[in-house]
A and B are shown apart, each in its own frame.
Chain A
Amino acid sequence: MTYGHIGELAELYALGALDERERTAIETHLDTCEPCTRLVGSAEGNVALMASLEPRRESPPDLNRRVDSALHAQHRAWRFPAAIAAALVIGFAPSLYLWGQERAMHRAMYATDAAMARLASAPHRTATFGATAGGPAAQVMYAPDGSWYVVVVRNATKALDVVWMHDGQRTMLGSASPIGDVSALYLPKSHRMDTLALVDGDRVVAQATLNWQKTAPTRRGDRSG
């Protein structure tokens, strides 16, 4: 798969005929591409039809209890606005305060409900984007297990695409659009990405290397990149 669409990989994804990295790249792409989501949905329908005509067994009672327990024990994952606000508090609050952002941004930064407090204390790491001349100043904060990322661009004047660079390819993750002069993009994921880039049109304007080495993360975050 390239920066574009997934094409005939839809059937391979639905059949489970991709390796883990290819599967992850598809799932990442589907987060932002509705046409490909429909394509995969159609292929999933064909595979599910095959599966539905195969030998059927009743699900065991202990599995039913296990699923029920999982649905009640685990809280839902990160919520978009809360996670962005929490990440801003964690990594950028002092600087942002000085930058004089809009009042709404300040209110978001200093909201202090219980959920915010929990999110703000979450272990995280930070990597700085190395920018080309005239490129943006940007950082990415991310969970040590790769379960979420927040890309923040300072002095942003326009939307930039955030892409995952891997295997000589670019997988589109989403666009960071300015609010005031800061852009932020929250990316809930389930995998680790080594290299992220900011793209303006087709041009990479900044790139960050993320550190997945085992070190104890701090509340303020480890630095890398």
Chain B
Amino acid sequence: MGSDEALAAGFAAHERWAFGEAYRRYASLLYSAAYNVLGNADDAKDSVGDAIARLWRSPRPYSTARGDLRSFLVVCVRNDAISRLRRRTRRLRVEERLASITPERDDPHLPDPIERDRVRHALQTLPAEQRVPLELAYYEGKTHAEIAAELREPLGTVKSRIRHGLQKLASTLRAISGAERDRV
């Protein structure tokens, strides 16, 4: 059993060591995921701290049937962050928030600018009918019902476009990642 599998099995068994190790292994990713939704450090810390504590309190938060533990944790933290974002009365426009998360240049732990822009570049490859609802969901934390109302499209149409847009985007991102690995 590889280390990822052992960690996932330990997490599914609700072992304390596995919760601690999973957090340590993915701490930067989880904190960044929350920060990129909420745009400030205090809220991001609350989001990650509360999400992990809630998982620890839950009897069966994760099963290995769910697949990748890292993905599960990222989505848990993002969902918590999105709930906080919705509760906030002050809403930032997506451009303002994206600008606010532009990292400081002297931070040695940050990816280079090309890497930072990959998701947004990949989004541009989607047709607008898929890209716009996906951006509203991912960057603005809107529900599918809010998106349907804003775009004046039927709910079923919006659901379908988000689904296909996400699948296509992931496929594009994987292809880009694969091509970059091949060049190295």
Q: State yes or no: do A and B come from one complex.
A: yes
Chain A: interface size category: 35 or more
The residue of chain A having its C-beta at the shortest distance from the C-beta of B75 within the complex is A44
- CA of A165 to CA of B48, assembled, Å: 32
Q: Establish whether residues A63 and B48, one from each chain, have CB atoms under 8 Å apart when the complex forms.
A: yes
Given A19-B143, A71-B20 in contact, is the A55-B27 Cβ separation under 8 Å? no
A54 to B111, CA, bound (A): 8
- Within the assembled complex, what's the spacing in Å between the Cα atoms of A188 and B57? 10
Q: Are the C-beta atoms of A47 and B74 separated by less than 8 Å?
A: yes
Are A46 and B160 interface neighbours, CB within 8 A? no
- Assess whether A12 is interfacial by the CB under 8 Å rule: yes
Contact partner of B59 among A41, A49, A78, CB < 8 A?
A78
Given A37-B65, A46-B170, A49-B173, A188 contacting B59 (CB threshold 8 A)? yes
* Bound CA–CA A224/B67 (angstroms): 40
For the complex, give the distance between the alpha carbons of A43 and B78 in Å: 14
Cβ-based interface call for B137 (8 A): yes
- Quick one: closest B residue to A187, CB to CB? B59
In contact, B36 and A55 (Cβ under 8 angstroms):
yes
CB distance from A185 to the nearest CB of B (A): 14
Q: Report if A49-B58 is in contact (Cβ < 8 Å); known contacts: A8-B160, A57-B109, A60-B31.
A: no
Q: Which of B103, B109, B142, B174 contacts A17 (CB 8 A)?
A: B142
Beta-carbon contact of B33 and A38 below 8 Å: no
A residues in contact with B145, CB < 8 Å: 19
A62 within 8 A of B: yes
| CA of A76 to CA of B162, assembled, Å | 37
Instruction: Name the residue on A nearest B14 (C-beta).
Output: A76
Residues of B near A70 (CB, < 8 A) are: 49, 52-53, 56
- Is B170 a contact partner of A49 (Cβ separation < 8 A)? yes
Question: Which residue in A23, A50, A52, A59 is a CB contact (below 8 Å) of B138?
Answer: A50
CA distance A188 to B58 in the complex (A): 8
Across the two chains, which residue of chain B brings its CB closest to A147?
B57
What are the interface flags for B96-110 relative to A under an 8 Å C-beta threshold, 1 for contact and 0 otherwise? 000001110001011
CA distance A30 to B174 in the complex (A): 27
Partner of B57 from the list A8, A56, A77 (CB cut-off 8 Å) is: A77
Residues of B within 8 A of A54 (CB): 32-33, 36, 116, 119
For the complex, is A20 an interface residue (Cβ under 8 Å from B)?
yes
Q: Is B30 located at the chain interface by the 8 A CB criterion?
A: yes
Q: How far is the CB of A70 from chain B (nearest CB, A)?
A: 4
A42 x B119 contact (CB < 8 A): no
Can you add 5 more A-B contacts, CB < 8 Å, to A12-B137, A70-B49, A71-B23?
A: A17-B144, A44-B67, A45-B170, A48-B74, A53-B118
Residues of A within 8 A of B (CB): 8-9, 11-20, 22-23, 30-31, 34, 37-38, 40-60, 62-64, 66-68, 70-72, 74, 76-80, 188, 190
> What are 13 contact pairs spanning A and B, CB under 8 A?
A16-B137, A17-B137, A17-B143, A17-B144, A17-B147, A19-B143, A45-B68, A57-B107, A63-B27, A70-B56, A79-B59, A80-B59, A188-B59
